[in-house]
Amino acid sequence: MPILQITKFYYHYYVCLLMFCLMISGTIYLLCSNFSPTPTIQIIALTISVILYIWLLLYFIYLNKRQEWFIPHHWKNVRKRPRFYCLLIFPLVIIFLFWLNLSGTLPMFYTAMAGKQQLIHTQAQATKNSFKGKISYYLKTPYRSSPIFKISPEQYQRYQNQQVRLQLTIRQSSVGTSVKPINHIQVKPKTTNKEQ
């Protein structure tokens, strides 16, 4: 039986597999998570993501110069315009996926394990977003516009000209905040200041 040898010629397959896994975990974070990372974590994650991509790019250039790796034949567009893909297309995808997981997925799991649960009150505002003709309604808070803050059109009509105060259960750590349920919504009419 022939023995399958893992050589540097096939390293791009491992990078593609890694990107696929990061894409799945990042999509789960975007669609199902109520986690809001801190701004500091987002900046640190972006810095690390750029460094990781540069390291990855330089390593493959090094392997190519030593003739231990080459651009695969079926990557026809990349072979025709390698600089365009390596300096524009790949960074946009790879750095974004690294950043999404380093700033969202990993801190979210850390907060779930090490964060402290608290009960807080915060102000919210009913907002309407339109994307590709689809309209969605949210309660805008200091936290990420996650699925937990989505409201119905009827609730939007009720809350849009009101002062909305939410009672939330959160789990907070040094890297971010995960919002659990909305315990209570208190509504008050907006008051206007009259000049004396």
Give the integer Cα–Cα distance in Å for 94 and 20.
10
pTM of the model: 0.82
Residues in the chain: 196
Which three-class secondary structure state does DSSP give residue 128?
strand
How many Cβ atoms sit within 10 Å of the Cβ of residue 106? Answer: 16
> Where does residue 46 rank: exposed (0-12), middle (13-18), buried (19+ CB within 10 A)?
middle
The pLDDT of 184-188, averaged and rounded, is: 84
Tens digits of per-residue pLDDT, 64-74? Answer: 899 888 888 88
pLDDT at 54: 96
Q: What is the pLDDT at residue 134?
A: 84
Kindly report, residue by residue over 18-37, the tens digit of the pLDDT. Answer: 999 999 999 999 888 889 99
Q: What is the rounded average pLDDT for all residues in the chain?
A: 87
DSSP assignment of 135-187, as one string?
A: EEEEEE-SS---GGGEE-HHHHHHHTTEEEEEEEEEEEETTEEEEEEEEEEEE
Task: Judge whether 174 and 182 are in contact, CB under 8 Å.
Answer: no
User: Does the pLDDT of residue 55 top 90, yes or no?
Assistant: yes
Burial class (CB in 10 A: 0-12, 13-18, 19+), 94: buried
More confident residue, 54 or 191: 54
Looking at residue 50, its pLDDT comes to: 97
Query: Which of the pair, 133 or 117, is modelled with greater confidence?
Result: 117
Q: Which residue has the tokens 């034949």?
A: 73
